[in-house]
Amino acid sequence: MKKTQILVFILYFYIIAVAVMFIRAIYFALEIDGNLFSDALFDLSFILSIMLAMFVLVFLVFGIYRSFQLFSENETEKLKVEMKRLKFSLIPFYIINFIVYFSVFILVVVATRGFILFTSFVFPFLLQIGFTYLIVAGTSSYGIFYVYSRYKSNHIKVDKVIILVLLQFFFILDIVSTIIILKDKEINRIL
């Protein structure tokens, strides 16, 4: 199975999980009485969150293993190509992620006047956000190994390596770092 097929599969699974959670948010906004964990739809959204987490972890382990394999074989250009393909192909995922979570947050907080923040309903959303961050951290392995290989070949100084590696672990800044890394010849001038 190609990496793009895996990414598309994870994206579709993610959209289904978010749709179930969105339906749950609407249901909760309309009917507050009752035990949250007894509701089948809530349980389904929680199970989908856990399944998404498992898929994300498999994806991350595969990505880290593949990037380490390319690094150990001194395939610097392949690392660069894989990093570019992976980071830029995940931009729509992060945009969808932001739109969905922002709209669910607004819907739920406005509908309950902030009451929802003190209930256990927020837990699956926090799980999803946490696993979204893990995707950023896991996809950064290609960039980190690429920067380290350039450092080993004396193309980048240590202070620039530290900056580029740290940028890889933050939303949006990881894309900025990737763009800087792709302009390999200009890294010392840009930073």
- Of the candidates 139, 18, 146, the one whose C-alpha atom is nearest the C-alpha of residue 75 is 146
Three-state secondary structure string covering 147-190? HHHHHHCCCCCHHHHHHHHHHCCCCCHHHHHHHHHHCHHHHHHH
3-45 pLDDT tens trace = 666 666 666 666 666 666 666 555 555 555 555 545 665 666 6
Other beta carbons less than 10 A from residue 158's beta carbon: 8
Which one is predicted more confidently, 19 or 179? 179
All residues at 6 or more sequence positions from 122 whose CB lies less than 8 Å from its CB, including other chains: 116
Average the pLDDT over 160-188 and give the result: 81
Average the pLDDT over 81-90 and give the result: 82
73-85 pLDDT tens trace = 988 888 888 888 8
List the structure tokens of 65: 């293993």
Q: Which amino acid is at 148?
A: Y
Lowest mean pLDDT among 61-70, 102-111, 169-178: 102-111
145-173 pLDDT tens trace = 999 998 998 888 888 889 988 988 887 88
Q: Look at the alpha carbons of 37, 43, 47, 48 in this order and tell me if their dihedral is positive or negative.
A: negative
Distance CA 94, CA 169 (A): 14
DSSP alpha helix (H) spans, the chain: 3-30, 40-72, 76-89, 91-112, 122-152, 158-167, 173-182, 187-190
- Write down the domain spans for the chain: 3-190
Q: How confident is the model at residue 49 (pLDDT cuts 50, 70, 90)?
A: low
Average the pLDDT over 62-71 and give the result: 88
Query: Is residue 118 scored above 60 in pLDDT?
Result: yes
